Amino acid sequence: MFLSCNQVSAFERDQGDSTLYKGIHDEFSSMVDTLIECFCDDLHIEADQLVNALKQQDNSARMSLQQRVSS
């Protein structure tokens, strides 16, 4: 949804409008922050608990898409 709403040729290399890029980045960052806050609220945890859990996750083994979806 986000990408379809922001299909303003923002990713064409010959268009060097950094203001446009920054605006899209800021909007995307805000959306991600909101989603993380809602996720934490749903789990009744603080954001720092989520960060610590993610830091402890072992990512040394590469998983296939099927393995990631089924776990």
| One-character DSSP codes across 41-64 | HHHT--HHHHHHHHHHS---S---
Instruction: Give me the half-sphere count of Cα atoms (radius 13 Å) on the Cβ side of residue 43.
Output: 12
54 pLDDT above the threshold of 70:
yes
Domain that holds residue 55: 2-70
pLDDT reported for residue 10: 54
Q: Per-residue pLDDT tens for 8-43?
A: 555 566 666 778 788 888 999 999 999 999 999 999
pLDDT reported for residue 7: 63
Give the C-alpha distances (Å, rounded to integers) separating 40 from 6, 44, 57, 64.
27, 6, 17, 27
Mean predicted confidence (pLDDT) in 34-58: 94
Number of domains in the chain: 1
- Look at the block and give the residue holding tokens 């299909």: 7
71 pLDDT above the threshold of 70:
no
Among residues 37, 39, 9, which one has the least CA distance to residue 24?
A: 9
